[in-house]
């Protein structure tokens, strides 16, 4: 009898910006170069030699929704230090999104490399970001938060 192998989809998100390096040692998922790596999986996973830390998040790939060329990313229960770091960035971080299968983490099924985070908003419960196609420079287009849901950031 043939064994049926279940393909469990896992999304990987890599967010890079030199200013995130200030959180190295404080936030486990950020390395000394300012790279945050997370996987929407129940535990950390290693893909192509890189460790991605478990985090609850959702991805809206390009072609789904109003902004066909953009990627949507919503991270739940995000560490407030990460939220603060994103809020203070003066240039957009680079974001790479990859889709893998849990049983074969070194084979990337889809990759959306080097998108720029062009908008971010957050509440106390989640951060939602939109990424646009790669570009070389420019400020973040917009950052907003909801003071009712996240009053500490407005103190």
> What values do phi and psi take at 9, rounded to 5?
-75, 135
- CA–CA separation, 75 and 16 (whole Å): 16
Tell whether pTM > 0.75.
yes
For the chain, the average pLDDT equals 82
User: In sequence order, which residues have a C-beta less than 8 Å from that of residue 70 and are 6 or more positions away?
Assistant: 62, 115, 118, 130, 131, 132, 133
| CA 145 to centroid of chain Cα atoms | 17
- Say if residues 117 and 130 touch (Cβ distance below 8 Å): yes
Q: 36 — phi, psi (to 5°)?
A: -100, 125
**pLDDT tens track for 41-87:** 999 999 999 999 998 899 998 875 555 678 999 988 777 777 777 77
pLDDT in tens, 74-87: 988 777 777 777 77
Query: 78-107 burial string, b = 16+ CB within 10 Å, else e?
Result: bbeebbebbeebeebbbbbbbebeeeebee
Per-residue model confidence (pLDDT) at position 3: 55
Count of C-beta atoms within a 10 Å radius of residue 14: 18
Q: Does the structure show a pLDDT above 90 at 6?
A: no
Domain ranges of the chain: 9-150
């Amino acid at each position: 009898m043939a064994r049926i192998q279940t393909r469990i989809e896992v999304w990987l998100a890599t967010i890079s910006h030199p200013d995130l390096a200030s959180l190295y040692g404080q936030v486990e998922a950020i390395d000394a170069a300012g790279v945050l790596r997370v996987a929407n999986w129940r535990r950390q996973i290693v893909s192509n030699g890189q460790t991605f830390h478990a985090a609850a998040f959702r991805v809206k790939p390009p072609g789904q929704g109003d902004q066909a060329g953009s990627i949507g990313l919503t991270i739940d229960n995000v560490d407030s230090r990460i939220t603060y770091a994103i809020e203070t960035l003066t240039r957009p971080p680079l974001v790479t999104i990859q889709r893998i299968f849990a049983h074969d983490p070194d084979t990337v099924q889809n990759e959306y490399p080097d998108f720029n985070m062009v908008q971010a908003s957050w509440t106390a419960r989640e951060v939602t970001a939109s990424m646009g196609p790669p570009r070389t420079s420019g400020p973040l287009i917009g950052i907003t938060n909801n003071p009712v849901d996240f009053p500490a950031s407005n103190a």
